[in-house]
Copies of this chain bind each other. A is one copy, B any other.
Amino acid sequence: MSKAHVSDAVIRRLPMYYRHLKELERAGVERISSRELGERMNLTASQIRQDINCFGGFGQQGYGYRVSELRWHIGEILGLEKNYEVIIVGAGNIGRAVANYDGFTKEGFFVRAIFDVSPALIGMDIHGIPVQPMDSLNGWLREHRADIAVLSVPASQAQQTADTLVEAGIKAIWNFAPVDLHLPEDVVSNHVHLSDSLHILTYRMNEEALFKSIEENARTGGQEQI
């Protein structure tokens, strides 16, 4: 049981487990079998057991999982028992939506400062927090802790801004810019590529017609492959 065994696919499923277990807990469910949890999450029972075993396994043969206990363990695996100090860099639409969303505060994520380069935004109050100029970042970080930086600047500024954040000592970046960042090994990141997500939706909207056309072309021996 080691870090090397935990694939990206498992990591991506962990927050799903956490969400479903929270819902079950809220609904008063006390225990659940891997089969039942699997049906709920569209996974096989053995997939569920394998995933959970990556972290030690918390169920009992023939009994299943205690919902609250498993929820708590997965929360701990996800680091959710801690509080996080957050700064937002880029006070555009996305930066503002993150700053305004109270749900994150309830989960222990506290937005402490917002930075932007635009004179039009500097000084603006967002959910009680004034937007500061980017120049103030280093000074602010000397006096405050920041565990996570939300990067919500335009694509063209993203890498350069990320470099500035790394130089200032930031170790975790939540990236909303549509750019795959190059970061040192000791800096972790996760990205929300909104347009990628929208493009996956349009792929699914068009998938059937696409494959009909590919098959049609294959049958007629057309040179055009799409």
Which residues of chain A have a CB within 8 Å of any CB of chain B? 1-3, 6, 11-12, 14-16, 18-20, 41-42, 55-58, 73, 76-80, 82, 84, 93-94, 96-97, 100-101, 103-104, 107, 109, 147-148, 171-172, 174, 178, 180, 188-208, 210-211, 214-215, 218, 225-226
Contact = CB atoms under 8 A, between A and B. Distances in A.
Contacts of A76: 226
A103 B193 CA distance: 13
Contacts of A192: 192, 194, 197
Nearest to A201: B190
Contacts of A18: 199
Which 9 pairs between the two chains have the least Cβ-Cβ distance?
Answer: A56-B225, A79-B206, A15-B196, A79-B202, A93-B97, A188-B204, A15-B199, A190-B201, A97-B97
Given A16-B196, A73-B226, A103-B195, A201 B189 contact: yes
B188 A19 contact: no
A178 B3 contact: no
A41 B42 CA distance: 30
A147 B205 CA distance: 9
A2 to B, nearest CB: 6
Nearest to A101: B93
A73 B28 CA distance: 50
Contact of A211 (B3, B148, B191): B3
